[in-house]
Amino acid sequence: MIPAIANAVVAALLTVTPVTAPLPARADKIRQQQWMLDYLQIARAHQISTGAGVTVGLPDTGVEAHPDLGANLLPGINLVQPGGSGRIDLTGHGTGMAGVIAGRGHSGQAGILGIAPSAKILPIVSAGKYGGLQTIADGIELAVKRGARVVNVSSGGPKSLSLRRAVQAAEQADALIVASNGNTTKTVMDEYPASMPGVLAVGAIGPDGQYAPVSYPGGNIGICAPGVKVITTGQAGRYRIVTGTSVATAIVSGAAALVRSRYPNLSAPEVMHRLTATADDIGPPGRDDQCGYGVLNIVKALTADVPPMTATGTPASPAPSAPAASSPPSTPTSASAPSSAASQPASSPLPLYAGIGAVAVATAGSILALIVIRRRRRDATDHHSPTG
């Protein structure tokens, strides 16, 4: 009964979500607006790894072909319309996530440059008008079966057995799930799969490098990444600006692809540990509920000597703040990292697996409370475009 109601509300949220006009495709100006490239030292990171050989699964609203994605976009699968293509996107949410993860730009220095421009994106239409909890879980499992070593889940909802099984399938296949923890609302419910063990939950920071209030805090948060006013690929070859945990999650997924390409023998828990152990702590010393172990530092994740995990699965020492080593360390022998997620989308994390929700909350009222589509409500009020 509840899954049926959840799917119906997801559809309602999608149909009433306002979409701000996408930016025109003036590619010569686009790259300059990607503030997160300088913040994360992407030019330096790309001298070490570009994500080659790694496929990132993207169970989302689908991904449209875009000049800045090019050959990085695989054909994909449509779980919502059997037999349909994975290269469609009715909302633009999935297309936005794909650009942040693996955009490669065009004509030299023009267009969107993603975190892992040599990685492949496997688009899986599993959220949207006819998608829901079950199709998101199915999308995760399918991504893993198709060889994805990283699975980006920029959505969330109530706990379910199907999600638990999907997370277990990823663990067995040694695929790392990176999930958004959700955006802030008045509710305080946990978000899944971000709250499940073995999943890296992500929160968001703004251009000032500080925790973004739009990012929902929690004891499961493992890491934060840029999630405010991030420009990315949009529908019809255009661009849009997004804010939220969805886009922060996509950035961390791209970073995970860089690490998996650089250190192909690391297990998924070790990759998670490397990302969190090298994060820059911006809050109280040690882990906190806003940004977990700190803010993503890709260069350190690719180069630093990382201490092994303790038996309890926590870093052997606090997240380091020292500069990254000049040469890469030998492959760690053990690790298991905390989860992290979150960021407030201008095309925020899918409102319960559909990336866009706030405006619909007013009409969905009591049903939303029933299926705990909590923090997503804010998503739809995207500060910019509906992708995030």
For the annotated catalytic residues, the residue numbers are: 60, 93, 246
d(CA 257, CA 301): 11
What tokens appear for 217 in the block?
């805090």
Which residues 6+ apart lie within 8 Å of 311 measured at CB?
Answer: none
d(CA 16, CA 101): 27
Question: In the sheet that 150-153 helps form, which strands lie side by side, from edge to edge?
Answer: 77-78, 120-125, 55-60, 150-153, 176-180, 199-205, 221-226
Angle at CA 206, nearest 5°, toward 205 and 208? 115
Distances in Å between the Cα of 102 and the Cα atoms of 17, 45, 69, 212, 383 are: 26, 14, 7, 24, 23
Distances in Å between the Cα of 182 and the Cα atoms of 46, 50, 76, 158, 192 are: 29, 28, 26, 12, 9
Burial label, 216 (beta-carbon count in 10 A; 0-12, 13-18, 19+): buried
Distances in Å between the Cα of 52 and the Cα atoms of 103, 294, 387 are: 13, 26, 25
| Burial track 39-76 (b if 16+ CB lie within 10 A, e otherwise) | bbebeebbebbbbeebbbbbbbbbbbebbbbeebbbeb
The residue whose two tokens read 């607006």 is 33
Which residues 6+ apart lie within 8 Å of 286 measured at CB?
Answer: 318, 319
d(CA 345, CA 376): 9
Phi first, then psi: give them for residue 280, nearest 5 degrees.
-90, 115
What tokens appear for 149 in the block?
């070593």
